[in-house]
Amino acid sequence: MSMIGKMASVATALMALACATEAQTFSHDISGDAVPWSEPLTSGDTSDLTFILHSDLTGGERPGIFELAARQMALLRPEFVISVGDLIEGGGDRDALIAEWESFDARAALIGAPYVFVGGNHDLSSKAERAVWAERYGQPYFHFRIKDVLFLVLDTEDMSAERRETLAAQRAKAVEIYKTDGPEAFAETPYANSLERVTGAISKEQGDYFVDVVASNQDARHTFVITHKPAWEAEETEFHRIEEALSDMPYTVFNGHEHFYEYRMRFGRDYIQLATTSGEQFPKKGLSEDHVMLISVRGDEVEMVNLMLEGIRDRMAEYPGAATTPCFAVAKC
């Protein structure tokens, strides 16, 4: 090969490497010190992407389960971990909320991988909860892109201040009724029967944001939409605008909130509702067990595997760090 030919080959290789590196960049539009991840996500040296998605801790967190789940997730060595929200119980004053977040952060650190924070109604319902979230993690809805895979993280508690105040008062009463009289009495409360309790709320501003994000990322290999509540079940919602924007793209939607597993197809895409990762379980509603999802993207192919915590053991066939055998499914214990 001539010197010119060798130089051309080297230049081509360098351009390919540069393109590959650019494609694997972790990108977002968040500015400021408060960010919704424990550390920046790293791109690595391959286009393959593997991450873990876990479900609700709260309400009704069962002690000790999430700490164990964190150690189990560490065994799987994901590139990062993300959730569908409800990470703290919430409902307290500023000091109580900060203490809950400090506790959660310490337990999530056991995973040993970058952690992406997603808010649910227990995390973002009240004015105080949203203020603490903003101080620690910034904007409650956001997007990021890594290895040409797009993530849209929604805030389904995005409503007017007046409506928030009304719902907060209803929710406080409903929670007390739940504690004293149980779930059946809770189901009869105004809060339990409000539209926002079931499908949440998404502002037009948030809808505009995600429509613009989707328009700017039409070349994404795949898009994962993370929403705590099943927003698409509302008759009128900004979520439908986001779905329309995504209509020509491959995407998957995940939600939590209900504490039982449900799979459905909508517009030819997977819509998956996770069960629990230490939250209270409701086996009468469906599959309600502790689990995580291991998700991988290779090329344009996406694989999603449900891993029940009951089946994740270390090389000694033990649950890492557990002194006794835990209960991962209350219906079986």
Cα dihedral across residues 328, 330, 332, 333: positive or negative: positive
* pLDDT recorded at residue 11: 42
Pick the CATH number of 47-157+200-333 from 3.40.605.10, 3.90.700.10, 3.40.50.2020, 3.60.21.10: 3.60.21.10
- Enumerate the domain spans of the chain: 47-157+200-333, 160-198
Question: Residues 117-154: pLDDT tens digits?
Answer: 999 999 999 999 999 999 999 999 999 999 999 999 99
Cβ atoms of 101 and 132 closer than 8 Å:
yes
Question: Residues 3-33: pLDDT tens digits?
Answer: 545 444 434 443 433 344 444 589 999 999 9
> Residue 182 class from Cβ within 10 Å (0-12 exposed, 13-18 middle, 19+ buried)?
exposed
Quote the crossing angle between the two packed helices 65-76 and 94-108, to the nearest 10°. Answer: 40
Where the chain has pLDDT below 70, the residues are: 1-24
Phi and psi angles of residue 95, each rounded to the nearest 5 degrees, phi first: -65, -40
Helix, coil or strand: residue 81: strand
* pLDDT recorded at residue 24: 57
Helix, coil or strand: residue 262: strand
DSSP-derived letter for residue 27 is: E
